[in-house]
Amino acid sequence: MNARSQNIIVVATALAIILLSIMVTLYVSGRLFDTGPMAGEKQGYQNITFTDAVLTCQKSTRNTFGKRIRTLVVDDHSSRYDPKEFLYKIFIKVETPKPKEEGLMLHYVNCFVKSSNGRINKYETWEDKEEEVSPVTENDTNMFGWPK
């Protein structure tokens, strides 16, 4: 056997191994004969993106507050994906007009979206209110319960 025929055998063997590796990878991933877990099934999202989660929360917030919304702002600094819970945690600030006076009321929205199916897992809203807190109690004691 001469050197030329040995080189041809080595190159042919290497190409066969590479081709076999590609075929096995495609078969295992289900892309070779369309035999994977998604073959013939109509499935929605397998995983949603951060943008999808934000849009879902914005839609739900618009449905909750309706035409009263003056501003709706996503807190990009705090909103995040939580890999331990597989949730997108979206935080939103909403301003609506005050009912009996001029000005705007600030509302905070916490919206948690499942990364697997894009559905809202938890939705909470709070109104930012200022209330006067007095240290004086009803029975003429100070805030620690001691007599004045």
The 10s digit of each residue's pLDDT in 109-145 is 999 999 988 999 999 999 887 766 555 555 666 667 6
Spatial CB neighbours of 107, under 8 Å, sequence gap ≥ 6: 65, 93, 94, 95, 96, 125, 126, 127, 128
pLDDT in tens, 69-87: 999 999 999 999 999 999 9
Which pTM value belongs to this model? 0.58
Query: Do 141 and 129 contact (CB within 8 A), yes or no?
Result: no
Phi, psi of 110 (to 5 degrees): -110, 125
pLDDT in tens, 31-71: 776 655 554 445 555 678 999 999 999 999 999 999 999 99
